[in-house]
Structure 1
Amino acid sequence: MLYPQGKTVIGDLKTAFVNIDGVLQELKTEKFTGYVKISSENYHGLVIYENGDPVESVENYTDGRPRIDGIKAMNNVIAKTKEGGGLLNIQELPSNVVNMMLRAIHSKVLYKDLLSEFTQIKNLLVTLKTKQITGHIEIEMNDGAGEAFIFLEDGKLIESLFSAGDGSTLSGKKGLARILEVANEVGYVMNVFQSDRKDVGKEKLEIKKPQQEEPIAVQADPTELLEIVEKIVLSIDQSLVKIIGKGKFQDAFLQAIFQKASDYPFLKSLGTNIQTNNGFAIDGAISLDDIVFGVSDVLDQAVSFVSTPKTKDKIKETIKLGLGQVKWLYEEQIPQYNLDTALFEYLG
């Protein structure tokens, strides 16, 4: 599990030097919110605090032993600390991040072992947003390049944490940008977890609300969505004139459409309509999510056509700045169609 980094109170101090009873009393006095973590060979023990009180504890072994939760785990963590031979780490965190950790502990697997060859992170985020999932995504990068957490509430992305192979961490928008960058370079495996309880801070005996049924997908009119996509493409083309020339990005976008048409069949009619000056239109019924998924892939491919490793970052930054007016004009529609998630690198 990836543990979020906050304000370090104690960082990897040998437990042989720690008076754990005194430390825990100090945390209570200071109304500490965050976590206490004990690490040793094949073992991680965690106690989560809110306002000076322990609210959850977990023990994880890497040798196959089952996880232990609750008061038993907390007593074991304290006993392990007194034995010595481990490292103590205490991180102070905001209350909302603590709630995310609690949800992560009390969660069940929704999707397991999703490979980068078949599932794109941005497309997965759009799907989870549509289904209004509260939970988190764990991502293990290939080649030991790092690991990541993405936290969701009702499908909305509320935090991203990336830990590189060298131990450095990033969070927020920078964390998500780095997750997407590294994932694209090396590939990954993802597991998606849905929280058992959304309101983790409430009494366990609270009457459970009936589980909401998943919304039934409907075929909606794609006209407005395609209008926004057209504005995005035209704006990108204008913003890149000085770098690659007028009309070059539109050409690259059309080329990418036909290249991706085998993955997204609706793109063939979209490309044909653009070629014959019929505008951004699709023949036949198609779900809005499918359009968003396809356009996301096409846009990424088009950017790769007009950039080199040396110019890629500059081109992406120029695109992001150039789309400022589109974001303003379609402030409500962009999140409605999940474009802010699928096109995070350009609209985020």
Structure 2
Amino acid sequence: MLYPQGKTVIGDLKTAFVNIDGVLQELKVEKFTGYVKISSENYDGLVIYENGDPVESVENYADGRPRIEGAEAMTNVIAKTKEGGGLLNIQELPSNVVNMMLRAIHSKVVYKDLLSEFTQIKNLLVTLKTKQITGHVEIEMNDGAGEAFIFLEDGKLIESLFSSGDGTTFSGKKGLAKILEVANEVGYVMNVFQAESKAFQAGKIDIGKKKETPPEPEDPSELLEIVEKIVQSIDQSLQKMIGKGKFRDAFMQAIFQKSNDYPFLKSLGTNIQTGKGYVIDEPTSLDNLVFGVSDVLDQSVSFISTPKTRTKLKETIRMGLGQVKMIYEEQIQEYNLDTALFEYLG
């Protein structure tokens, strides 16, 4: 498992040089919050601290032995440290990140083996945000390109960790950006875990109940207004790079290309072309609209960029959308655009 990086107290110090009893006593005196990690070949031992007290300990073995938790694990971690032959790493963390780690340890799988061919990471995050899931997403990149963890609290993304095949680690916004970049290149398998402290709210059909009146269709007008502003701002910000109107042309091309996946896009594209504006003529959920717009923007960018220009182009887009983010900050979060369009609004 990947671990969050905070303020490094001790970084990868050989355990042969460590008086672990003295270190643990100092952590207690200083009311330390964070974790102590001991690592060696095929082994990770972890002790998590809150305000100077050890609150959980875990041992993970790479040779197939079961995970050990609690007091037994802590005893073993200390013993391993005294044996020498490993590395000691101590990271000081905020209390909320420590709680995130505790939830990750005590969690259950709710979605297993989600393949990149069928589930997009950004769409999954929007769904988990809607369901207000507290837990984490584990992502195994194909071709040994790395692994990643995305941590959520009530559906909101609170940390992203990515470790590449060569061991380089990224966290925070850089971590999420790297996850999306590598995932798009090589594909992946995902597992979603929910913290045991909160029950998974699964949908349930009760045959004995009367058929309920279907809910009123959601009004997409405000969301479409924001999408229009986003497209206009991107088009304007990219004029010097690719020419006036080129992004809008790519956006329209992407709309019709993606209309097989999202049928409502056909009416959106037709209405834009005929001057009716950003309106759709058939009902669809707001989540589905967000998913469709996200796919269309990604496709638009692929039309106008090359591997060499893509990073610079996305940076220019992010800068150009600064005013839109400021004006529509609340709506962007309400509609989950901040997650679905992270690469452009993040």
Common fold, TM-score beyond 0.5?
yes
Cα distance change, pair 218–72 in 1 and its aligned pair in 2 (3 A): farther
For 2:330, the equivalent position in structure 1 comes to 332
Output the CA distance in 2 between the equivalents of 1:96 and 1:292. 30
Structure 1 unaligned runs (5+)? Answer: 199-209
Residue of structure 2 equivalent to 1:160: 160
Structure 2 counterpart of 1:302: 300
The structural deviation recorded for 1:211 is 7.5
CA contact (8 A) 1:57 1:70 kept: yes
Deviations 1:314-346 (A, max 9, x none): 221221122122222222211111111111111
Residue deviations 1:298-319, cap 9 Å, x none?
0011011112223222221221
Q: CA deviation at 1:214?
A: 6.3
Aligned match of 1:7: 7
Residues 211-250 of structure 1: pairs in structure 2 closer than 5 A: 219-250=217-248
Say if 2:34 is the partner of 1:38: no
Gaps of 5+ in 2: 205-213
Q: TM-score, normalised by structure 1?
A: 0.90
Q: Which aligned runs of 4 or more in structure 1 are off by greater than 3 angstroms?
A: 210-219
Give yes or no for contact 1:307–1:315 (8 Å, CA) kept in 2. yes
The superposition leaves residues 34-61 of structure 1 with CA deviations (integer Å, 9 ceiling, x where unpaired) of 1111223332211111121100011122
Cα 1:163/1:12, change in 2 over 3 Å? same
Identity of aligned residues (%): 84
Cα 1:212–1:125 change in 2 (3 A) is closer
Contact kept? 1:5, 1:169, Cα under 8 Å: no
Aligned CA distance change for structure 1 residues 327 and 94 (closer, same or farther; 3 Å): same
Aligned to 2:177: 177
Report 1:1-348 matches (<5 A): 1-197=1-197, 219-348=217-346
SS at match of 1:138: strand
Contact 2:194 2:200 in 1 (8 A): no
CA distance in 2 between partners of 1:304 and 1:60 (Å): 41
Q: Deviations over 1:111-149 (max 9, x none)?
A: 112122211111111000100111111122223322222
For 1:217 and 1:327, the matched residues in 2 are separated by 30
Q: CA RMSD in A?
A: 2.1
Q: Is the 8 A contact 2:138 2:149 kept in 1?
A: yes
For 2:280 and 2:73, the matched residues in 1 are separated by 57
Q: For residues 268 and 217 of structure 1, what CA distance do their matches in structure 2 show?
A: 24
- 1:141/1:81 CA distance change after superposition, 3 Å: same
Whole-angstrom distance in 2 between the partners of 1:346 and 1:275: 25
Query: Which residue identity is paired with 2:227?
Result: V
TM-aligned CA distance change 1:86 to 1:72, over 3 Å: same
Measured in 2, the distance between the counterparts of 1:214 and 1:298 equals 29
Structure 2 Cα separation of the partners of residues 328 and 336 of structure 1: 14
Instruction: Please report the TM-score for the alignment, with normalisation by the length of structure 2.
Output: 0.91
Cα separation, 1, equivalents of 2:215 and 2:297? 25
